[in-house]
Structures are given as structure tokens and as C-alpha cells.
């Protein structure tokens, strides 16, 4: 039997946001089904937190950020003017993305 399912592809993306926009941006990212993990650090690269988002997706199909998570993000937002958010996404390759090996 041949499996016609295309393999998933992991992609890392990096964005920089103002500290006061951090909580809202993380909520938006958490609602996307393709985001697996977030790393939040200062604009200079000093790490603040790394957290998987896929666990919250499994719970009930609805993303719910717990109050402690929001509190941590609120503290980070208050301490930093700009933060770097690294996002691990899972994408299914398009037909045009196939590469010969």
C-alpha cells in the first residue's frame, strides 16, 4: 500500500513586536492551528520563555491560554519595550514545493 499523504514540514518564523502588544499577538498565534511552539526573547536575544502550543490544541480543539500563562506574558510585556517571538509552524507542502532528491 502506498501512503498518498504528503509529509508535514516544520517552518520557523521570527517576528518582533512591541511589549504592550505581546499578549494579543500570542493569543492570535495560539488560535492558528499550525503553530506548535513559541519562543519569546528580548530583542537582543535573551530568552524569556519557550512554550508548546500544540498541547492546548489537543485538550478540546479550542485554544485556551491559562491565566498563569497570560500573567507571565504580561510581566514580560511590562519589562521589555520590544520582544522577539520565534514561531514553529507545521505546513503541508504544496504540489509546487516538491523537491527532487
Is residue 53 included in any domain, yes or no?
Answer: yes
Number of C-beta neighbours around residue 25 at 10 A: 19
Question: Which SS3 state, helix, strand or coil, does residue 97 take?
Answer: helix
Is residue 99 included in any domain, yes or no?
Answer: no
Is residue 29 included in any domain, yes or no?
Answer: yes
Spatial contact of 8 and 92, defined as CB atoms under 8 Å apart: yes
Is residue 66 included in any domain, yes or no?
Answer: yes
Task: Kindly report whether the global pTM for this prediction surpasses the value 0.85.
Answer: no
Residue 101: band (very low, low, confident or very high) from pLDDT cuts 50, 70, 90: very low
- Number of folded domains that form the chain: 1
Q: What is residue 60's predicted lDDT score, i.e. its pLDDT? A: 43
**Structural domain of 74:** 9-92
Q: What is residue 51's predicted lDDT score, i.e. its pLDDT? A: 81
Residues 54-70, mean pLDDT to the nearest whole number: 52
Residue 55: band (very low, low, confident or very high) from pLDDT cuts 50, 70, 90: very low
Q: What is residue 86's predicted lDDT score, i.e. its pLDDT? A: 92
Amino acid at each position: 500500500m502506498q501512503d498518498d499523504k504528503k509529509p508535514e514540514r516544520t517552518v520557523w518564523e521570527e517576528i518582533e513586536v512591541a511589549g504592550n502588544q505581546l499578549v494579543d499577538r500570542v493569543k492570535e498565534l495560539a488560535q492558528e492551528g499550525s503553530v506548535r511552539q513559541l519562543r519569546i526573547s528580548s530583542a537582543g536575544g535573551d530568552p524569556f520563555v519557550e512554550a508548546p502550543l500544540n498541547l492546548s490544541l489537543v485538550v478540546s480543539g479550542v485554544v485556551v491560554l491559562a491565566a498563569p500563562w497570560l500573567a507571565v506574558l504580561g510581566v514580560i510585556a511590562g519589562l521589555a519595550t520590544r520582544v522577539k517571538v520565534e514561531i514553529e509552524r507545521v505546513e503541508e507542502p504544496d504540489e509546487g514545493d516538491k523537491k527532487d532528491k
